[in-house]
């Protein structure tokens, strides 16, 4: 089957936050949206078919996944990530951010410290603060175009603040790192040394750029596996975020119980029917579509790289190892962060994610989402080139 990822599907007036919230969020009505992490493509045909089948049945009562769902997840995790799972490890949630909130409540108390590595996906900070935990950050740093972990700072912050929980972003949004086994091993050893539980947000796990390889956090060691929650979802991979469904793997029964109890306290019980029907179809039949999608994303990345080189040479691309979110450094222009954002949004009329949303380390950066048809990516880059040159 061939898929056309360059076909533009109009998303305006479809309740999409990427498009329909522009004016409400103070952006020009004709802004081009390449911000939030969803994609401008319809999902895989096999997923649409599975959803249509449910719609044709017409009854949307309380529902639970059956063994077929678990088999589909297990096969995907094994084949794609060399991760052997057991059904009893799984706890479903309406999303990864929901799972983060559950983990914060399950594994820390009010006032206790939760650690993140900034710059990072901003709901991490929001969930920690909203749940009245102490936010502790260990800054990643950039060296030779690659963002890295300061392990000494990471450990010191844990000691100084008696950190209870670490929220790992793997692969990392927005710096595009796919952490190596060595890096994850070091992180896990530090966390084990100081009894810090790890929540591994692996939602971007299916977008890995060769030769990099995603390492599931709990495959690092038995001890690491016993001390973590690994959270994933078909939502990022197959563009299903609005269906509100994610899958968490917790091997340690004591951690699982605490996490499950927190989930139960929210009143959430059965998962979204359409969410798990879509995830099951994705994991059973979505591979071919995903392969084609990844080829398109690779071409978009090459297009972006080339465009910057030829037309915007002062914008520095941080080569991603994974994700479809690309971290761009505009510091050569010498603008303040506010000036930079104003130029991009109001003059170029392109809506990217401002780097400082992810932490102060993101100053002078912007994050661009390239999961879009090439004509839209090109139009956005032309708009930027016109203003910056």
List contacts with ligand PLP (CB under 6 A).
37, 95-97, 121, 169, 173, 201, 203, 233, 235, 241, 246
Please say which residue, 307 or 358, places its beta carbon nearer to ligand PLP: 358
Q: How far is the CB of 117 from ligand PLP (least distance, A)?
A: 12
Please say which residue, 284 or 353, places its beta carbon nearer to ligand PLP: 353
CB 217 within 8 A of CB 200: yes
Q: How far is the CB of 312 from ligand PLP (least distance, A)?
A: 25
Please say which residue, 119 or 373, places its beta carbon nearer to ligand PLP: 119
Q: How far is the CB of 322 from ligand PLP (least distance, A)?
A: 11
Please say which residue, 37 or 282, places its beta carbon nearer to ligand PLP: 37
Please say which residue, 169 or 345, places its beta carbon nearer to ligand PLP: 169
Please say which residue, 207 or 330, places its beta carbon nearer to ligand PLP: 207
Beta bridge partners of 92: 247
Please say which residue, 39 or 380, places its beta carbon nearer to ligand PLP: 39
Say how far apart CA 351 and CA 35 lie, in whole Å.
Answer: 6
Residue length, the chain?
389
Beta bridge partners of 81: none
Q: Which two structure tokens, joined as six digits, stand for 120?
A: 């990072």
Nearest residue to ligand PLP on Cβ basis:
95
Residues 6+ apart with CB under 8 A from 21: none
Q: How far is the CB of 123 from ligand PLP (least distance, A)?
A: 7
Q: What share of the chain is helix, strand, coil (3-state, %, to 5)?
A: 45, 15, 40
CB 13 within 8 A of CB 20: yes
Q: How far is the CB of 95 from ligand PLP (least distance, A)?
A: 3
Say how far apart CA 227 and CA 221 lie, in whole Å.
Answer: 10
Question: What is 219-251 written as a DSSP string?
Answer: GS-HHHHHTEEEEE-HHHHHT-GGG--EEEE--
Say how far apart CA 210 and CA 114 lie, in whole Å.
Answer: 32
Question: What is 261-291 written as a DSSP string?
Answer: HHHHHTT--SPPHHHHHHHHHHHHH-HHHHH
Please say which residue, 40 or 155, places its beta carbon nearer to ligand PLP: 40
Q: How far is the CB of 120 from ligand PLP (least distance, A)?
A: 8
Between strands 197-201 and 165-169, the pairing is parallel
Q: How far is the CB of 367 from ligand PLP (least distance, A)?
A: 10
Q: How far is the CB of 311 from ligand PLP (least distance, A)?
A: 28
Q: Which two structure tokens, joined as six digits, stand for 386?
A: 């016109």
């Amino acid at each position: 089957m061939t898929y056309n990822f360059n076909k533009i599907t109009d998303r305006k007036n479809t309740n999409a936050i990427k498009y329909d919230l522009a004016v409400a969020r103070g952006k020009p009505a004709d802004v081009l949206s390449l911000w939030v992490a969803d994609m401008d493509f319809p999902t895989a045909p096999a997923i649409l078919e599975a959803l249509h089948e449910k719609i044709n049945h017409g009854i949307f009562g309380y529902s639970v996944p059956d063994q077929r769902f678990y088999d589909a997840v297990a096969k995907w995790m094994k084949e794609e990530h060399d991760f052997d799972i057991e059904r009893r490890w799984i706890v479903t949630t309406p999303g990864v951010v929901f799972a983060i909130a559950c983990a914060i409540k399950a594994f820390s108390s009010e006032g206790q410290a939760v650690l993140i590595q900034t710059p990072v996906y901003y709901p991490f900070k929001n969930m920690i603060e909203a749940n009245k935990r102490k936010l502790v950050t260990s800054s990643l740093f950039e060296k030779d175009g690659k963002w890295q972990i300061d392990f000494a700072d990471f450990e010191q912050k844990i000691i100084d603040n008696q950190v209870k929980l670490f929220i790992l972003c793997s692969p990392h949004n927005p710096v595009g790192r796919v952490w190596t086994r060595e890096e994850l091993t070091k992180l896990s050893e530090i966390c084990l040394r100081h009894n810090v539980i790890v929540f591994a947000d692996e939602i971007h796990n299916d977008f890995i750029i060769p030769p990099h390889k995603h390492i599931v956090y709990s495959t690092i060691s038995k001890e690491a596996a016993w001390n973590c929650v690994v959270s994933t979802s078909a939502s990022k991979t197959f563009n299903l975020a609005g269906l509100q469904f994610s899958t968490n793997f917790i091997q340690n029964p004591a951690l699982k119980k605490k996490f499950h109890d927190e989930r139960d306290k929210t009143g959430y019980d059965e998962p979204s029917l359409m969410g798990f029907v879509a995830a099951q179809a994705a994991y059973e039949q979505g591979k071919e579509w995903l392969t084609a999608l990844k080829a398109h994303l690779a071409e978009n990345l090459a297009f972006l790289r080339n465009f910057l080189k030829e037309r915007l040479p002062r914008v520095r691309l941080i080569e991603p190892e994974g994700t479809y979110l690309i971290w761009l450094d505009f510091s050569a222009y010498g603008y303040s962060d506010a000036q930079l954002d104003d130029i991009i949004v109001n003059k170029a009329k392109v809506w990217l994610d401002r780097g400082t949303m992810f932490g102060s380390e993101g100053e002078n950066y912007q994050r661009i989402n390239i999961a879009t048809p090439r004509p839209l990516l090109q139009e956005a880059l032309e708009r930027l080139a016109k203003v910056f040159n």
